[in-house]
Structure 1
Amino acid sequence: MRRLFAILTLILSLAVPAAASARESLTIGISQYPMTLNPLIDSMLSKTYVLAFTRRPITAYDASWSLTCLLCETVPTIENGLARIETLPGGKKGIAVTYVLKSDAKWGDGTPVSSADIAFTWEVGRHPRSGVSNSEIFRRITRVEIHDSRRFTLHFDRVTFDFNVVNDFRPLPAHIERSRFESAPEAYRTQTAYDQDSTNPGLYNGPYRIAGFERGSYILLVRNEYWAGQRPAFDRIQIRTIENSAAMEANLLSGGIDMIAGELGLPLEQALALEKRQGNRFSFITRPSLVYEHIDLNLSSPILADRRVRRAMLAALDREGLSRQLFDGRQPIATSMVPPLDSVFAEDLPTTKYNPAAAAALLDDAGWRIGPGGIRVNAKGEKLTLELLTTAGNRSRELVAQVIQAQLRKVGIELTLRGEPARVMFGDTVTRRKFPHLAMFAWYSSPENVPRSTLHSSQIPSAENNWSGQNYPGYANPKMDALLDAIEAETDRPHRKALWRDLQQLYAEDLPSLPLYFRADPFILPKGMSGLTPTGHQDPSPYWVEQWRWD
């Protein structure tokens, strides 16, 4: 009888329905593996996506594009008294903004998230050698005033229209990271516990924590027992990296993954084709977004330093035809880095049309004449040959790169193509400005997001600032710097929108990057799953993973 009971128990354990197992776990496919897990270092979207399950920033924009508190209790405003204008030494105006952390916010080892964590994070962010990606927000804070363990005031050195948006101020656990930072600030980016001790529960304060991983392959998440918010539906979430988009689709169809993240999933045209074939098996959600697909130009190249060459390249690209043929016309052509969905988009700015004749004239004027084989050469006989770098395994980008190669060839520009894994491209090549000419990728943006980190001359990464900043082209124009400063300081919305128009016009004239289009992201979910709402901006959907449910 004992043997029979044991056999029956084993049979019953093996006969658990797949649906029941699915309710306990979820496997998500994404196209990139993070180069680092430190929330302040590097700007890969895959890192932001993974950490959105495990950490909460102070504030974030929700799916309705409203600023909301995730780690704080109330969004500070002048009206509610949590923000006040103050006079700084010398008579300049600053602003003091007070936040109160949620009383039940804890790190995954049970340590409360505290004002001391905020002060420590500020120390890391403002250090000139710490290597954080967006150091500007920390440098603007002149001091952190701690009132008690949960209440603190950030004193900013200027008044800006978005003074209460501290989405990029991502708290670090001081009780874990302080010793690693203070021992050698310049080496912090390689010594952080987020990379050397990634499964330490104390690094995470969200609904999940990282419990296991295989670099380049997957990250395993389990519930954070100290999370005090709504209990998430899944015991475990595995995030699998599948860099080849064809392989990702095959994994979805075979059951290797349950869903594909819209933020880092299939290209639109591949998802549309899949929906036609498999619409009865999966739920498809496609939302236009603030994702700016573009080509960064390394302006340190003597060829690309000539604005005539940059303008010629854009005129040589049939972007409307490309969008129509590859994306069914669902991805609008970009005139600048500001998306048409954004309230500050300048509708009256002209779009550079496909005009090979104009492109040829600009190249002639720049001293590049048609040479042997139809490739242009300069007076020294040097060929007009450029390299285009993009993420390897992304079928959409590979197709776009081939189209661009053919179109530039028609006006005498020779383009060679190179692909790198995303973790290499963004973790090293682009961040350290190692790409010789062109790099094609996308920026996620938030509503009315001032592009200081990508366009201001102070944000050019270099060895001197430990590769901080995201101005990868190396663009430096005093007019652009002044516009960025003016937009941030303008609290009158109509006046600010006029400045935004000037910025977009200057961007279109200077072309530090070649605008391509704004993406529409397809989310592919298992039938019966609900609660996932695409945001359409840089604060990704997993910030609200506790709302994901099985119907």
Structure 2
Amino acid sequence: MTQYPSSFNPNIGSMLAKSLVEGMTLRPVTAWDPDWKLVCLLCTELPTIENGGAVIEEYAPGKKGIAVTYTLRPDLKWGDGTPVSTRDVAFTLEVGKHPQSGVAAAEGYRRILKLDIKDERTFTFHTDRVTFDYNAMGDFRLLPAHVERPVFEANPAEYRNRSRFETDTTNAALWFGPYRIVKTVPGASVELERNPAWSGKAPYFRRIVFRIIENTAALEANLLSGSIDYVIGELGLSLDQALSFEKRHKDRFDVVYKPGLVYEHIDINLDNPLLADRRVRHALMLGIDREAISARLFEGKQPVAHSNVNPLDPMYSPGARHYAYDAAAARQLLDAAGFAEIRGGVRQNAKGERLSIELATTAGNRNRELIQQVLQSQWKQIGIDVRLKVEPPRVFFGDTVNKRAYSGLAMYAWVSAPQSVPRTTLHSQEIPSQANNWSGQNSGGYKNPEMDRLLDAMEVELDVARRKALFGEMQRIYTEDLPVLPLYFRSDVFVLPKALKGVRPTGHLNVSTLWVEDWRWADPNEK
């Protein structure tokens, strides 16, 4: 794959590379499967209101929450043989609730009012509201209390850096999936072997090695030479490469294009005074010919994104504003925003401030680097100077985005679950800062009370039609405010060797490696 994880702690940071490795070595409590159905991975049965596993309750006068009870599978063990138990649930909740722990999805932990533990395997979460996805626990990633508690208690504020997941990654006690990590070479590789403590379906492969090749052209060369067997679909070849590759090598490989909920976009640092003016953001949007990018680079297989919600998602609304390419309108907006004077081809305002912006992205991704150049050229035509910057993904995601260290624009992708409420990326309470130890994913610093109200209301609306209306209003405000510049919805490209069977692309947040035990080499006689 093209990226090396910036962290191996399941609750620190958000990076697809980590999710792909941990799909094989850990499991969330629940996940969306390849058929887009919510299923239990760690629990014996998905709790619902209908089966009595979830009960709406009043926890204060006029305030309703919900009690959801899960029972862990009896066969789960950490790699050192210690049973996965409710002690780990309690510890994980403690870490998630601590204001200095730096977990990525802190809001989910804040909503849990109380934890009741029935026994070693059964527990109940009492939450402060009734949400439509009340039984989805994909962000609750268990931590091994017997290994991690001493580290956390020693210094909660430093836990994100001193966790055993970072300092002792090959410790078997950290992993309970079908595989465990046995060797890491930072920036280069992650080696896994079968986990003897795993009691689920036995994985076919004894050993799996993730090799990190950040340059996508080199990735293709390594695949053809046989030095690697498979390029992971979610983080591998770019679509333009795959289109060409398929024509040349369809006798050796099956190429599967999986449209899904992967949203390529540009985050905007709204603390930058040049970008705080909505007219400038609108001009940036109007100055991009996204239809041409989709047609020429992707043969239309990666459609233009008009908002942050994919038309494949049931909550999509066609009512969001659509921006067609209109350089003349963009110039008028920049004139109105006070950048009417042009010197040396670059606009400036009355104070002499040049309209010069930095655009950062991940190094080695041919598509992104090419799009960077296209954007630089298109924005130059409307008088905006764009400086390009690329960084290794582990730096870009670990520091630049997570710590809001980019000065202007950051181009990357979000991947979401079906009907996902984008609270963590848009709510004003989710802005990462040093004060909250860089928790949250609203890296642009977007603040809009009406958006906050909608996000809060969407989560607790159980009626599908009313919820869809709220989603529609959210998309309308999103495309009017433009805290983010939508680019396109990605299709993941799975370039599968003919002999590799069992890989099922999902098209959403939960990656294909969560079902790695189904992967196998085909029998030579198998058709």
TM-score (norm 2): 0.98
Tell me, what secondary structure is at the counterpart of 1:388?
strand
Instruction: Kindly indicate whether the alpha-carbon contact (under 8 Å) linking 1:220 and 1:238 is maintained by their aligned counterparts in 2.
Output: yes
Tell me, what secondary structure is at the counterpart of 1:304?
helix
AA aligned opposite 1:382: E
Tell me, what secondary structure is at the counterpart of 2:142?
coil
Instruction: Indicate whether 1:480 and 2:465 are aligned.
Output: no
Instruction: Indicate whether 1:68 and 2:36 are aligned.
Output: no
Instruction: Indicate whether 1:212 and 2:217 are aligned.
Output: no
The CA distance in 2 between the partners of 1:110 and 1:526, in whole Å, is: 35
Instruction: Kindly indicate whether the alpha-carbon contact (under 8 Å) linking 1:370 and 1:412 is maintained by their aligned counterparts in 2.
Output: no
The CA distance in 2 between the partners of 1:132 and 1:94, in whole Å, is: 23
Map 1:474-513 → 2, pairs under 5 A = 474-513=445-484
Instruction: Indicate whether 1:187 and 2:165 are aligned.
Output: no
AA aligned opposite 2:6: M
Structure 2 unaligned segments of length 5 or more: list them. Answer: 523-527
Deviation for aligned residue 1:349? 3.0
Tell me, what secondary structure is at the counterpart of 1:99?
strand
Range 277-286 or range 79-88, more displaced: 277-286
AA aligned opposite 2:139: D
RMSD (Å) for aligned C-alpha atoms:
0.7
The CA distance in 2 between the partners of 1:371 and 1:498, in whole Å, is: 44
Tell me, what secondary structure is at the counterpart of 1:322?
helix
Instruction: Kindly indicate whether the alpha-carbon contact (under 8 Å) linking 1:82 and 1:98 is maintained by their aligned counterparts in 2.
Output: yes
Range 432-441 or range 369-378, more displaced: 369-378
Instruction: Indicate whether 1:456 and 2:456 are aligned.
Output: no
The CA distance in 2 between the partners of 1:142 and 1:183, in whole Å, is: 25
Instruction: Kindly indicate whether the alpha-carbon contact (under 8 Å) linking 2:446 and 2:483 is maintained by their aligned counterparts in 1.
Output: yes
Aligned match for 1:266, one of 221, 234, 237: 237
Matched with 1:6 is none
TM-score (norm 1): 0.94
Paired residue total = 522
Map 1:414-433 → 2, pairs under 5 A = 414-433=385-404
Aligned match for 2:207, one of 236, 258, 261: 236
Matched with 1:311 is 282
Matched with 1:257 is 228
Larger radius of gyration between Structure 1 and Structure 2: 1
Instruction: Kindly indicate whether the alpha-carbon contact (under 8 Å) linking 2:254 and 2:497 is maintained by their aligned counterparts in 1.
Output: yes
Q: Deviations over 1:433-482 (max 9, x none)?
A: 01000000000111011111000000000000000000000000000000
The CA distance in 1 between the partners of 2:284 and 2:488, in whole Å, is: 15
Deviation for aligned residue 1:526? 1.5
Instruction: Kindly indicate whether the alpha-carbon contact (under 8 Å) linking 1:375 and 1:413 is maintained by their aligned counterparts in 2.
Output: yes
Matched with 2:525 is none
Instruction: Indicate whether 1:469 and 2:471 are aligned.
Output: no
AA aligned opposite 2:106: S
AA aligned opposite 2:91: F
Range 276-285 or range 33-42, more displaced: 276-285
Matched with 1:284 is 255
Tell me, what secondary structure is at the counterpart of 2:75?
coil
The CA distance in 1 between the partners of 2:320 and 2:391, in whole Å, is: 35
AA aligned opposite 1:402: Q
Identity of aligned residues (%): 56
Q: Deviations over 1:403-453 (max 9, x none)?
A: 000000000001010000000000011111010000000001110111110
Instruction: Indicate whether 1:447 and 2:411 are aligned.
Output: no
Instruction: Indicate whether 1:334 and 2:305 are aligned.
Output: yes
Tell me, what secondary structure is at the counterpart of 2:344?
helix
Deviation for aligned residue 1:123? 0.4
Tell me, what secondary structure is at the counterpart of 2:274?
coil
Deviation for aligned residue 1:374? 2.0
Q: Deviations over 1:316-368 (max 9, x none)?
A: 10000111000001111111111111011002334110000110111010000
Matched with 2:94 is 123
Matched with 1:10 is none
Instruction: Kindly indicate whether the alpha-carbon contact (under 8 Å) linking 2:321 and 2:476 is maintained by their aligned counterparts in 1.
Output: no
AA aligned opposite 2:50: E
Tell me, what secondary structure is at the counterpart of 1:178?
helix
Tell me, what secondary structure is at the counterpart of 1:519?
strand
The CA distance in 1 between the partners of 2:226 and 2:9, in whole Å, is: 31
Deviation for aligned residue 1:255? 0.9
Deviation for aligned residue 1:68? 0.3
Map 1:159-198 → 2, pairs under 5 A = 159-198=130-169
AA aligned opposite 1:117: D
Q: Deviations over 1:174-207 (max 9, x none)?
A: 0100110011111100110001110111111110
